[in-house]
Amino acid sequence: MLMPVLSVGSTQIPYILKRSPTARRARITVTPDQVEVVVPDTASDEQIGRALHRRRAWIFEQTRAMRARVAQGHTIHRFVTGAKIPYRGRLMRLTVQPGTGSLVEVAYRNGFRVEYPQTIAPNARDSVIEAALALWLRKRVREDVVAIARQHAVNGMYPKDIRIKDQKHLWGSCGQDRVINLNWRLIFAPKPVLEYAVVHELCHLRHRNHDTAFWQLVGSILPDWQMRKAWLDRNEHLLGFERVEPRT
């Protein structure tokens, strides 16, 4: 099915159109992956067109800014010695070498060290190393999150469970069931920023909304929370890495 397209000058911007029985007016969201337009069930094509026309300059600027931010993200062509892997706000050197074991081994000490089985085919090596690094990073961020939660989970702010997830557009969430979810890509942020994300969700165990009482509670735990949040807002596009096949 073809997506509808918004034309801004010579630029064509595809978007996803959704109708919602609860929407009172058009809501437009721009992410690195897509433009989504949510409208009331009763909205006519003419009304939708007018809403898009009013916001066309904003949509154009947002999509251009998103493309620029994605282009600044960290890419890796090969998982070989000398490549740089983001970790806790820094780019760390990767050392790769064959090992004697049957599994990929990942270690960290002033940089990542990976040993891979000599039986792995050369054309599969990058994918296997990438998967092993991602697994190691997920385990590490879970350890960090649990430790931070134990440190700050006071006055009834004890989660029922903590889950590490792969979320595209959320850094964290706190359900009514008192289960806290954190995005595994927070391992790429400096540890104080990860701490802010955890404390943010812990505070939602007492205050469900982002009201004044919520932010006061966050501030009582992390007086510099605004600085940490600003870093996350400013650098979210840098949290992660993407393997890009080299062009031939």
Cα-based torsion angle of the residue sequence 65, 68, 72, 74 in order, rounded to the nearest 10 degrees = 90
Inform me whether the pLDDT recorded for 129 exceeds 90.
Answer: yes
Residue 34's CB is within 10 A of a number of other CB atoms, namely 13
For the chain, the average pLDDT equals 88
Structure tokens at 14: 């595809």
pLDDT for position 154? 75
Q: How confident is the model at residue 241 (pLDDT cuts 50, 70, 90)?
A: low
Task: Find, among 195, 225, 203, the residue nearest to 88 by Cα.
Answer: 195
Mean pLDDT of all residues in 2-22: 89
Sign of CA dihedral 136, 142, 145, 148: negative
Q: Report d(CA 162, CA 140) in Å as an integer.
A: 14
Higher-confidence residue: 189 or 73?
Answer: 189
Task: Find, among 165, 167, 185, the residue nearest to 239 by Cα.
Answer: 185
75-79, 86-90, 143-147, 205-209: least confidently modelled range: 75-79
Inform me whether the pLDDT recorded for 11 exceeds 70.
Answer: yes
Unique residue bearing structure tokens 């400096």: 190
Are 113 and 80 in contact by the 8 Å Cβ rule? The answer is: no
20-29, 35-44, 78-87, 152-161: least confidently modelled range: 152-161
Pairing status of strand 35-40 against strand 74-76: unpaired
Residue 26's CB is within 10 A of a number of other CB atoms, namely 18
Inform me whether the pLDDT recorded for 240 exceeds 80.
Answer: no
Q: How confident is the model at residue 135 (pLDDT cuts 50, 70, 90)?
A: very high
Q: Report d(CA 238, CA 9) in Å as an integer.
A: 30
* Amino acid in the structure at residue 43: A
Q: Report d(CA 91, CA 190) in Å as an integer.
A: 11
Helix (H, G, I), strand (E, B) or coil at 246: coil
pLDDT for position 236? 78
Q: How far is CA 128 from CA 63, 132, 141, 200, 204, in A?
A: 33, 6, 20, 34, 38
Structure tokens at 207: 């205050």
Inform me whether the pLDDT recorded for 205 exceeds 60.
Answer: yes
pLDDT for position 204? 94
Share of the chain above pLDDT 90, in %: 62
Mean pLDDT of all residues in 45-62: 92
How many whole angstroms from its chain centre is CA 213?
27
Inform me whether the pLDDT recorded for 243 exceeds 90.
Answer: no
94-120 pLDDT, tens digit per residue, is 999 999 888 999 999 989 999 999 999
149-188 pLDDT, tens digit per residue, is 999 987 678 899 999 998 767 899 999 999 999 999 999 9
